[in-house]
Amino acid sequence: MIADPILEVAGLRTVFFTAAGLVRAVEDVSFTLRRGEVLAVVGESGCGKSITALSLMRLVPSPPGRIVAGSVKLEGRDLLAISEAEMRAVRGNLMSMIFQEPMTSLNPVLTVGEQIAETVRLHRDVSKADAWARAVEMLRRVRIPEPAQRAKEYPHQLSGGMRQRAMIAIALACDPKVLIADEPTTALDVTIQAQILDLMLQLQQESGTSVLLITHDLGVVAETAQRVVVMYAGRKIEEASVEDLFARPMHPYTHGLMRSIPHLAAMSGAVAERLQEIPGMVPALSNLPGGCAFAARCGHADAACAAGVPPLEERRPDHYVACWHAGTLV
Amino acid sequence: MTPVLQVEDLKKHYPVKSGFLRRTTGTVFAVDGVSFSIAPGETLGLVGESGCGKSTVARTVMRLVEPTSGRIVVEGTDIAGLSKAALRPFRREMQMVFQDPFSSLNPRMSAGDIVREPLLVHNVASGREADERVAALFAQVGLRPGQMGNFPHQFSGGQRQRISIARALALNPRLIVADEPVSALDVSIQAQVINLLMDLQRDQGLAYLFIAHDLAVVEHISHKVAVMYLGRIVEYADKTSLYRRPQHPYTEALLSAVPVPDPKLKRRKRLLEGDVPSPMRPPPGCAFHTRCPYAEARCKVEAPVLRELAPGHVAACHLR
């Protein structure tokens, strides 16, 4: 049993019906977000991490997408079993989401203040004046200077970093229990990324919100998360605490990823050597091989890997991995 | 050794026109006095945040946009003012690889034709000879010659970037200008392309002007690194010196902001306040003073010049 779960995802399966055939974007994914923690979901494009996030919010475009199996329990209530009207009362209220591109996820014809106030009035029985006051207060909390002035501005008048702060203000306006952040800093410059990550962590500690952080950046994972789920080709292939995952990655893909990124030598003291490549590329989700999806790129693959999908097993305390050879590999 | 490229006091200013009469109402100082040189077989990394002018430097050096002023010296000739016809032989020496492998390849040409085109344009080879050259280039960048008939959409992002590299190599250039060549690629594919670029340099003595915002990638591939802020180089040194002993507060802040993939290193970050100012209205004095934690009175009025602080290590800061 996991202590104090807030969000429990079990057996989630999301598919897309496309011209190229059935795309299994999320295949039997389970994980638990604990109260007050930051859980990172990491993987490359097409691994299913963003579709997992959208599935939790029931925002998968349908058609062509459909959640065909699984449960998403927020404090015990299965969000996949409730009506759309009930779900609308959850989104932005109990569970919020921020996206990668703040310019396209903000409404360009409403001021930032109106967009925050709108969220507040949707979920709370408050007057317009009170909602506006809350909007200004939220902009202050995300450390936007002159919040009363900024609330009257439109998204295009703000810089990229300011827009992402405004997005966070909208997401946190109703004190959600869970915040899903899908690549929240990927579109930002590195100094702005550092500001936003720092802000998110501070707010998370102030409010006790649990955060599901979707990212491709292992550096961001290492600096923000307590636990990590690694995804590949729609499946969860590894899960561990952040310390354990970086110290002892057990899946050959995770291991390969960590060795393929250059490290700042000034930080790690390492001499620049040749980067370790992962050969080949991610398989198309519409045409997955039988067996382990990583086998074609894996140096340890043998007949067993092609024969069947490896189950996720606990190989070390609280360290789960889906690999037939996890027992023999370091 | 004579450098393959020497850039002196390069400037590119864009007029901003507005109103009914399209009057010039302002100027974007995209690149404002940039100088550097690249030796044969050497990689110069150019880093900075969006809007700092690093891509404009690349495009101006390639004469894809016309410089406002300054010298671009290739093989002893200043190409900044040359006519299109006179420029042509120099184009063979310098080729470019772009960030987006989706928009930089013609979707209606086969991969083989894309790589063959420079050979035909420059009358280097044709017919059978060109076919053999294209096949050799494919093999060199790790593509199967059997894929020559395929179209760009049939390749993955990493493979498309290999096609771009093969096209750039077709004329045996001495310098490749690579503008964010790996930032659109997935992590596991980035390493493949970085390794390919480094292998090509080792085998052929290529020089690179490598533009990127990822400081770890730049450190890995470069020999020298220049840091840009609001159209100017603020620090320039060999890689080890710049990364280990950054002199400019901006370089220091950039390095500190990079997320390090090691949870054991809980570093205290030096967070910068605020955003990059608009290049239309660069702050007076040192352009960085609005965000600099150490700024003093003189930083607000007097623009610092690049000074040599250690052998080969220059930075533009009053306080060092």
Task: Tell me the pLDDT tens digit for each residue of A75-110.
Answer: 999 999 999 999 999 999 999 999 887 778 899 999
Please write the tens of the pLDDT for every residue from A132-160: 999 999 999 898 888 999 999 999 988 88
**A35-44, A217-226, B272-281, range with the lowest pLDDT:** B272-281
Check CB contact under 8 Å for B263 and A223.
Answer: yes
Percent of chain A with pLDDT over 90: 66
Query: Is the CB of A263 inside 8 Å of chain B's CB atoms?
Result: yes
Residue B259 carries which side chain, given as an amino acid letter? Answer: P
Q: What is the pLDDT of residue B16?
A: 87
Q: CA nearest A25: which of A43, A2, A6?
A: A43
pLDDT average, residue stretch A300-326: 92
Backbone angles phi, psi at B144, to 5 degrees: -80, 130
pTM value? 0.89
Please write the tens of the pLDDT for every residue from A243-282: 999 999 999 999 999 988 888 875 555 555 788 888 888 8
Is the pLDDT score of B313 beyond 60?
yes
For chain B, the domain total comes to 1
Dihedral in degrees, nearest 10, Cα atoms B79, B84, B86, B92: 80
Q: What is the pLDDT of residue A272?
A: 56
Please write the tens of the pLDDT for every residue from A187-206: 888 888 898 899 999 889 88
Is the pLDDT score of A330 beyond 60?
no
Per the prediction, chain B carries an average pLDDT of 91
Query: What sign has the CA pseudo-torsion B57, B62, B68, B73?
Result: positive
Q: If 0-12 CB within 10 Å is exposed, 13-18 middle and 19+ buried, where does residue B32 land?
A: buried
Peptide bond between residue B284 and the one before it cis (omega within 30 degrees of 0): no
Tell whether B178 is covered by a domain. yes
Tell whether B184 is covered by a domain. yes
Q: If 0-12 CB within 10 Å is exposed, 13-18 middle and 19+ buried, where does residue A128 land?
A: exposed
Considering only CB atoms, B217 lies closest to which of A192, A247, A262, namely A262
Considering only CB atoms, A243 lies closest to which of B158, B243, B263, namely B263
Tell whether B57 is covered by a domain. yes
Q: If 0-12 CB within 10 Å is exposed, 13-18 middle and 19+ buried, where does residue B5 land?
A: buried
CA A301 to chain B, closest CA, distance in angstroms equals: 18
Tell whether B103 is covered by a domain. no
Q: What is the pLDDT of residue A1?
A: 45
Tell whether B129 is covered by a domain. no
pLDDT average, residue stretch A283-301: 87
Query: Chain A contacts of B49, Cβ < 8 Å?
Result: 189-192
ipTM score of complex? 0.84
Query: Is the CB of A186 inside 8 Å of chain B's CB atoms?
Result: no
Q: What is the CATH number of the domain that holds B228?
A: 3.40.50.300
CA B318/CA B320 separation, integer angstroms: 6
Q: Which residue has the tokens 């993939």?
A: B261
Please write the tens of the pLDDT for every residue from A24-56: 999 999 999 999 999 999 998 889 999 999 999
Tell whether B141 is covered by a domain. no
Considering only CB atoms, B262 lies closest to which of A222, A262, A276, namely A222
Residue B34 carries which side chain, given as an amino acid letter? Answer: V
Per the structure block, which two tokens stand in for B48?
A: 């900075």
Q: What is the pLDDT of residue B19?
A: 80
Q: CA nearest B59: which of B30, B28, B17?
A: B30
Considering only CB atoms, A261 lies closest to which of B256, B261, B267, namely B261
Query: Is the CB of B281 inside 8 Å of chain A's CB atoms?
Result: no
CB A57 within 8 A of CB A51: no
From A199, which residue of chain B is nearest by alpha-carbon distance? Answer: B271
Query: Is the CB of A258 inside 8 Å of chain B's CB atoms?
Result: yes
Check CB contact under 8 Å for B272 and A193.
Answer: no
Query: Is the CB of B319 inside 8 Å of chain A's CB atoms?
Result: no
Q: What is the pLDDT of residue A27?
A: 93
From B291, which residue of chain A is nearest by alpha-carbon distance? Answer: A191
Strands A38-42 and B5-18: unpaired
CB A246 within 8 A of CB A229: no
Query: Is the CB of A83 inside 8 Å of chain B's CB atoms?
Result: no
Residue B231: domain span: 5-93+173-260+268-313
Tell whether B279 is covered by a domain. yes
Please write the tens of the pLDDT for every residue from B170-228: 999 999 999 999 988 888 888 989 999 999 999 999 999 999 989 999 999 999 999 99
- DSSP secondary structure, A134-162, as one string: HHHHHHHHTT-SSHHHHTTS-GGGS-HHH
